[in-house]
Structure 1
Amino acid sequence: MKCLLAAIGLSLALPALAQSPLSFEQYVQSLQQEALAQGIRPQTLTASFADVHFIERAVKHDRSQPEHKLTLDEYLPKAVPAWKIKQAKGLYRQHQALLTRIGAQYGVAPRFIVALWGIETNFGKLTGGFPLISSLTTLAYEGRREAFFKQQLFAALQIIDEGHIPAEQMIGSWAGAMGQVQFMPTSFLSYAQDGDGDGRKDLWHSQADVFASAANYLHQVGWQANQTWGRAVQPPKGLDPALLGLEQQRSLAQWQALGVRNAWGGPLPKADMHASLIQPDDGAGRSYLVYDNYRALMHWNRSHYFALAVSTLADAIVAP
C-alpha cells in the first residue's frame, strides 16, 4: 500500500483539514477492518487498497464553489448545443432496437435514456479519471463528510467484491460518481441492472447495462410511462409567488384558470394532469409547468438546470 502524504504533510498542505487523528495509513487500516466486519472478502480488500493514496485534488474539488452562476438562458445553449443534439439523434437511431426493448421493459421513453447519457457524460466520453477507492478514502479521511463518503466507499468495495468491475478499473469522478451514467456507489447497488445478461453490471463498458440501469432508476423513482416531463409556459403578470415550486401542485385546468398559458400564449392542454409551476431563475427568466417525470429527473440530480437540460435534449431527439 502506497501512502503519498503523511499526516504532518497533510496539515501543512491543507491547514483547515478536519482530518482523523490517525495517519492516513492508520485510517486505511481501520477502514479495512470495518469492511471485513461487513463481509467484504480479504482478497477484495488487498486488490482494492493495493495502491491507495491521498488525493489532494479531490479535497480541493469538494471544497470549491462555483464563482459565477449562469442564467438558464446562458446555461441551456452550453449544455444542449446543436452538435450534441445531432449526436443524440444519431445514437438514438444507432441503438434504437436496444433502447426500444429496454424502454418497454421499464416503461421509460428511450429518448430520455439517451438524453441522460448525453448530459451526464457526453454519451460515455467523459466519465472521470479518479481512482475511486483512493478518492473516496481521501474524502472520508478528510472528515468534513466522513459518514457519507465511508458509506460510498463500502458500497464501492461491495461492487468490486461482487465481481462487477475490477478494482483497478473502478474510475470515476472525484466524488465517486461512476460509469456512463455517473451513479454513486450506493445508487449502483440500488438501481444498476445487468442489461446484457452476462452476470455483471458494467456501467463503464456495456451499453445494455448503461441503458437498463438509467431506465430502472427512473422507473423506481416514479417515472410515468404515459407522460412527458412538462412544458414551457407564460404565467400572468402579478402571479402570487406562493404558487411557485415543486411543492405546489394544481391541475392544468386550475393553472389555466389562474392565467397560465402555453409558450405561444395559447390554452393549456385539456388533460387530467397535475403540474407544478417553476421559475429556476426566480422570475427573471423562463417558466415551466412540470409533471411527475420532472420530479424523477430531480431525484437523479437536485438541480433544475440539470433536469431542464435533460428534458430539452430529450425533446430535441424526436423533433423534426
Structure 2
Amino acid sequence: MKKLLSSVVLGASLLAVQLPAWAQDAEGFADYVVKIKAEALEKGYSSETLERAFANAKFYERAVSADKNQPEFKLTLDTYLPRAVPEWKAEQAVEKYNEHKELLEEVGAKYGVQPRFIVALWGIETNFGNYTGGFDVVSALTTMAYEGRREEFFKNQLWQALTIIQDGHIDPEQMKGSWAGAMGQTQFMPSSFMAYAVDYDGDGRKDIWNSMGDVFASAANYLKQAGWRDDVTWGRQVQLPADFDVSLADLKNKKSLAEWQQLGIRTMDGDDLPTRSDIKAAVVIPDDKDGRVYLAYANYDALMRWNRSHYFVAAVGYLSDRIRFPR
C-alpha cells in the first residue's frame, strides 16, 4: 500500500512538473486582467469601456507560442517572392484595383500616393481584407503583456487600443487582429492607428476593418507621413558589375543615378540607368551579390517605415509593378 501511495504521489509530482508553462500562466491571467483594469482606471479609462473591452478576455496560448516560435528557416528573395506574390494574387490585385479604381484614384490624389501601392500593401498585409486575423485584440495584447518579455511595449499598445474603443471607432467584439495585436485590413498596431488612421467616409469612425475609404486613406496617410513621393516608383532591380564594392550597399548611402551608372550598375536589360537628376538612390542587397539587387528610391524608405523588412518591401514593390504592368 505504501508503495502504491508513493507511486501515486510520484505520478502527481511528475504531472505537476510536466504541466505546460502556458497552462500555469493561464491560471494567473485573470489576476493580471484585474491588475490591468485597475491601472487603466487610474489612467482615466471609464468603467464602462473596461467592462466592454474585457468582457470576453481570454488567455491566448497560441499568441505566446507564436511569439516564442517564430520561423527561423532561411529564405531568399527568389524563394520568398513566389510565396508572397503567387500568380493568383497578382491577378486578383489587378481585379481589386479596377473594382475600386474611382475611390483609389480619389484617395491617391488627395494623399499623393499612387493607388497601385495602396492595393499592393492591402494584398500583402491581409490578402485584400480576406485575412485580418481572428484574435480579440484586447485579449491578444493583454496576453502578450502578461507573457512579460515585452510587457511595457504591449501595455502601451493596450492603452491605445482602449482609447480606440472609448473614442467609439470600433466595438470591442469587432476589434479583431493578429496574435500580436495588428488590426484590420491595414494591420495597424494601435499606436499606428492613433497616428495615421483616417475617417475618410466621414461617419465619425476610423474604421480600418470595414470601410474601404478608411482603409485606403489610412494606408495612404501612413505613406504620406513617411515621406512618400508620387513622382517616382519604389525602386528597380539592377545588375552589378563583377567588381562592385558591396560595402557601398547601404540604405543610408544615397547617390544620384548618374553616380551609380559610373560605378557600373545597369538595368536588368543591361541598359543605362534613367537620366533623372532629381532621384537619389541606395543599393540594397537583401541576400548576397548573386541574388536580387535593387536601387532603392525614397519610396523604398517609406515602405521600410511600414515594415522594416527588405523582403516585405520587395513583395509590395513587385506586386505594385504587376498591377502597373499586368501580364
User: What is the letter of the counterpart of residue 127 of structure 2?
Assistant: N
Of 14, 21, 38, the residue aligned with 1:14 is 21
Q: Deviations over 1:267-318 (max 9, x none)?
A: 1000111100011112230111011101100110111111011001111112
User: What is the letter of the counterpart of residue 115 of structure 1?
Assistant: A
| 1:195 and 2:200 aligned | yes
Q: CA deviation at 1:54?
A: 1.2
Could you tell me which residue of structure 2 aligns to residue 3 of structure 1? none
Could you tell me which residue of structure 1 aligns to residue 299 of structure 2? 293
Question: Relative to structure 1, is the Cα distance of residues 10 and 145 closer, same or farther in structure 2, using a 3 angstrom cutoff?
Answer: farther
Q: CA deviation at 1:13?
A: 1.8
Q: Deviations over 1:250-271 (max 9, x none)?
A: 1111100100111111110001
Mapping for residues 220-235 of structure 1, pairs under 5 Å: 220-235=225-240
User: What is the letter of the counterpart of residue 131 of structure 2?
Assistant: L
Of 131, 147, 150, the residue aligned with 1:145 is 150
Of 257, 261, 266, the residue aligned with 2:266 is 261
Q: Deviations over 1:137-163 (max 9, x none)?
A: 111011000011101111111111111
Q: CA deviation at 1:69?
A: 2.2
Q: Deviations over 1:182-207 (max 9, x none)?
A: 00011000000011111101111111
Q: Mean alpha-carbon deviation: is it higher for 171-180 or for 275-284?
A: 275-284
User: What is the letter of the counterpart of residue 194 of structure 1?
Assistant: D
Could you tell me which residue of structure 2 aligns to residue 112 of structure 1? 117
| % identical equivalent positions | 58
User: What is the letter of the counterpart of residue 304 of structure 2?
Assistant: M
Q: Deviations over 1:9-40 (max 9, x none)?
A: 999422899x79x9322221221122122222
Could you tell me which residue of structure 2 aligns to residue 66 of structure 1? 71
TM-score scaled by structure 2?
0.91
Q: Deviations over 1:225-274 (max 9, x none)?
A: 21111101001112112101212111111100100111111110001111
| 1:103 and 2:92 aligned | no
Mapping for residues 33-182 of structure 1, pairs under 5 Å: 33-182=38-187
Q: Mean alpha-carbon deviation: is it higher for 82-91 or for 100-109?
A: 82-91
Distance in structure 2 (CA, Å) of the matches to 1:10 and 1:67: 29
Question: Relative to structure 1, is the Cα distance of residues 16 and 256 closer, same or farther in structure 2, using a 3 angstrom cutoff?
Answer: farther
Q: Mean alpha-carbon deviation: is it higher for 185-194 or for 74-83?
A: 74-83
User: What is the letter of the counterpart of residue 239 of structure 2?
Assistant: Q
Distance in structure 2 (CA, Å) of the matches to 1:181 and 1:222: 18
Question: Relative to structure 1, is the Cα distance of residues 205 and 15 closer, same or farther in structure 2, using a 3 angstrom cutoff?
Answer: closer
Structure 1 moving runs of 4+ over 4 Å:
none
SS in 1 for 2:281: strand
Distance in structure 1 (CA, Å) of the matches to 2:232 and 2:19: 55
User: What is the letter of the counterpart of residue 141 of structure 2?
Assistant: L
Distance in structure 1 (CA, Å) of the matches to 2:84 and 2:17: 37
TM-score scaled by structure 1?
0.93
CA contact (8 A) 2:281 2:297 kept: yes
Answer with 1 or 2: which has the greater Rg: 2
Q: How many pairs align?
A: 310
Of 26, 29, 32, the residue aligned with 2:31 is 26
Q: Mark the runs of 5 or more structure 2 residues left unpaired by the alignment.
A: 1-15
Distance in structure 1 (CA, Å) of the matches to 2:22 and 2:320: 45
| 1:314 and 2:323 aligned | no
Could you tell me which residue of structure 2 aligns to residue 305 of structure 1? 311
User: What is the letter of the counterpart of residue 140 of structure 1?
Assistant: A
User: What is the letter of the counterpart of residue 13 of structure 1?
Assistant: P
Distance in structure 1 (CA, Å) of the matches to 2:292 and 2:257: 18
